[in-house]
Structure 1
């Protein structure tokens, strides 16, 4: 190896053979000449070479410029590539085929809280042993020779998505593995925030609907009560099942409305009729002929052609037997035969006839107690009680009061061409009143107030005397409207606490939040009865 530096210009060798020349920075600009025939390397200080010396060495100025430009481009490309990798928001982790880390970027420090330099030169298996990595996607890529994605928690406890991709050489062998690391914690936080916003949005929508007094409607049925929504949901599901339905509930809760709803949602509404019979409104000696019909000459005053009964009129449809508890024992026997055999026999007739009728019965009596007393047949009770549905009274579903008020007031205004409204205090009275006549009583009172008051705005002083007396007694005993509302609230929550097993179910039933229920239970000193 020969070095010619500074003043040693005389190189003293034959330079006629071909060689290559490039620059090297070592204090001053030097030229390195590679002589093919001798394989000697010579460093020559460029400042001491004249033009002739340059030509003698075979250095072509144009070729050197091209090499310099290409070298500069390559450096720029490498610098740009490094900048792109380092500025990626996702972590980038590059290893060789043996799992040794070659390069990482700055994002990996943010994701793992470990300096990126720490990884360089370390094998992924060693990092796993130290607990830095819980699972190696690099090893999976090497094993399956394809892109692999895994989700795992990193050293910092953050959930990450790792996607490893192989880089192949010219022989099709894996040369490197490039892994992209995405921090999912931010995405999970954003998703959680989005869910909170959506829940809040739903809450606001419900509150706006409440403030607008906009009731929920189920195919013409108005209710905001979760209890009633569940009942009507059940009736939709059993509408086309020909089992007998027994509707229970106090007078005026809407048993006939529910029976009509079942009929409207059944296929029988396309073939037959909905026939209603109030068993308590027809004298017992006439009820048999009304239900089963009679033949010509069956009794004095009977129609010469005879008359079909309600069962025949309801053929292919539904017969609604309201106040079923008022049937005499003899009629109960005949009704049981209809349910068992699907046959009826007219009064005065000798031949039974087949009918296809679905029975819906309703009562405000306790049929089970009537069975114990011998007032109602045991076998008929169980025939009727196949699908029992109990409608709660209005005082147990007070959230339905305001929607019903608006419904009835709109109907009255339209019917009589009025423009009546109810003031705030009257609405609050309606909310706190117990309504022992239920929906029927509420409807009748609104119509009565609308047609008897002079002013368009109906206030609490316009109430009939029996209601004013109740209102004065309530006000005198509790002292203020606020306390009246609290009394009603306490009563509702007490009823819910006796029916549901925990605060979450109570909150869902009453359409409020669980923390609110916890606070109210503590305020009113109400205990939940564990079921």
Structure 2
């Protein structure tokens, strides 16, 4: 804990009253202060309390002793004047009021799962007084049927934020999101769980087929993409804010991300924010969907009689059609080397040459390229021109996969369910177990896969309520802990460990990089990779 910069006397003591750390202002006030000295040398009547309440002790000036249970039973001693103490007490009272009065349930446990604190909303959501939970372990609550699964245990096991949907014992469907509080060593010491009651939200959804996105997400109007883009994740908000800032510059933009993350949606957004929208069109070309022998004529056009079968009047290419606008080149990594040279010329000179023509034509086109491939690695292998790569990579925008922004999955579920209910004039609903599965699934196909699955379920499920048994066979095999299937803790840990290592082995070049990313040792990584028969990109 860094206290040297604080503008008032501060010291840190342990549970035996010994000084661990103090700043210069504390030393100036108490010249005899040394590490290991009993703080009662300065505060003879001071005793450590068992609760987290603020205490005051008067000696020369007023002092506040704050218990910091997160830091292994250490305590902070802060020297303040009387008015500062009153201000601090007021702020603590305001925070306590916010904690108690917030609409969402808040549930705090230690790393062993023992309940430390809850707020008033827990009573509304569960029907049980908040005092009942204090001191009880979440495993006890599961045994008594109050909880079905424990988000706390998953957070402690993984060290990451975890979400799950479950029906509580009074029948309310709830979304639980647990977040870890870690110490300086990265160990989970507390878990803060936010509980949202989805029962009322689902009722609103049933009454309003359009579903009000503002209940759960921020909406940015982009015109051509359905009725808006759902943005709840902080990283995604940052990406779209950056895209909005660069939209009126003519620099080339390279959008990176896995298949189905929404690269075309971001390209649409940029176009709609750009002044080029008033001057020209947004023309889209999928470089991987057009046969290589036809791609050149599609991009650059051709003159009459340029080749057998050519249109007698010739044809405009995509660059001409996008003149004064934007050309979106999707799957740019599939562009053949010979066309990479011609594209480079357009970027450098703003000139194109039709097939069968000797004339050079000037075009004013902004390029947005997108790929799910690693262009830098392709350059290394000689599959992509280095000069073109740097020309394209002027403003890179990376869209993370859906599994890394799970806070957007639930809003997307409601969005697509509403969309397809409207499209097919139906009124389908998801069972809470299906929602739980959709939130916890890893979505290798990202948003596109999620949308396709929801449409499939809406169309093929005969009942209005879509349940786990209605899931396609290939998804049923992935339904694990959140259904009635049970596996041992050891099996669950090993399966999670294997998946994490597989992803890391694909992403990083060697075992040293994997170890750094996973915050463990390189020998441990080597041993684990061997255990699960996983091969990294390059041996080390």
* TM-score (ref. length: structure 1): 0.55
Using a 3 Å threshold, how does the CA distance of structure 1 residues 296 and 230 change in structure 2: closer, same or farther? same
Match of 1:186 among 81, 86, 90: 86
Q: Is 2:455 the counterpart of 1:455?
A: no
CA contact (8 A) 1:215 1:223 kept: yes
Q: Tell which structure's C-alpha radius of gyration is larger.
A: 1
The equivalences for 1:161-310 within 5 A come to: 185-187=85-87, 189-190=89-90, 193-194=93-94, 197=97, 204=104, 211=198, 212=201, 214-219=216-221, 220-310=228-318
Unaligned runs of 5+ in 1: 1-153, 160-181, 500-525
Cα shift at 1:367: 1.0
- Asked if 1:369 corresponds to 2:269, the answer is no
* Contact 2:433–2:482 (CA under 8 A) maintained in structure 1: no
Which of the pair is proportionally richer in helix?
A: 1
SS of 1:231's equivalent? Answer: helix
**What is the distance in 1 between the residues matched to 2:60 and 2:493?**
53
Query: Which whole-Å deviations, capped at 9, do the CAs of 1:438-460 have from their partners, x for residues lacking one?
Result: 11111111101101111100000
- Aligned to 2:473, which of 465, 472, 494? 465
SS at match of 2:479: helix
Shift of 1:208: 8.6
CA distance in 2, matches of 1:480, 1:439: 31
Aligned to 1:416: 424
Contact 1:293 1:346 in 2 (8 A): yes
The 3-state SS of whatever aligns with 1:276 is strand
The structural deviation recorded for 1:310 is 0.7
Determine the structure 2 residue equivalent to 1:435.
Answer: 443
Tell me the number of residue pairs that the alignment of Structure 1 and Structure 2 aligns.
327
For the pair 1:402 / 2:406, whether they are aligned, the reply is: no
Residues 381, 250 of structure 1: CA spacing in aligned structure 2 closer, same or farther, 3 A cutoff? same
Per the TM alignment, residue 487 of structure 1 is displaced from its structure 2 partner at its CA by 8.8
Identify the range of structure 1 (239-248 vs 184-193) with the bigger mean alpha-carbon deviation. 184-193
Is residue 287–residue 331 contact of structure 2 (8 Å, CA) maintained in 1?
A: yes
Distance 2:457 2:252 in 1: 40
How many Å apart are 1:270 and its aligned residue? Answer: 1.7
Once residues 440 and 459 of structure 2 are traced to their aligned partners in structure 1, the CA distance between those partners, rounded to angstroms, is 23
Counterpart Cα distance in 2 of 1:387 and 1:199: 42
195 and 285 in structure 1: CA distance in 2 versus 1, 3 angstrom threshold: same
TM-score by length of 2: 0.54
Residue 294 of structure 1 aligns to a residue in which SS?
A: coil
* SS of equivalent to 2:477: helix
Segments of structure 2 that go 5 or more residues without pairing to the other structure are 1-57, 64-81, 107-193, 202-214, 222-227, 508-516, 522-540
| Counterpart contact for 1:432–1:485, Cα < 8 Å | no
Tell me how far apart the structure 2 counterparts of residues 334 and 353 of structure 1 sit (CA, whole Å): 13
Q: Could you tell me whether the CA contact under 8 Å between 1:294 and 1:347 is conserved in 2?
A: yes
**CA shift at 1:490, angstroms?**
13
Equivalent pair of 1:478/1:484 in contact (CA under 8 Å):
no
Structure 1 residues 287 and 205, CA, compared in 2 at 3 Å: closer, same or farther?
A: farther
Q: Output aligned runs, 1:155-166, within 5 Å.
A: 157=61
Residue 317 of structure 1: how far off its partner (Å): 1.1
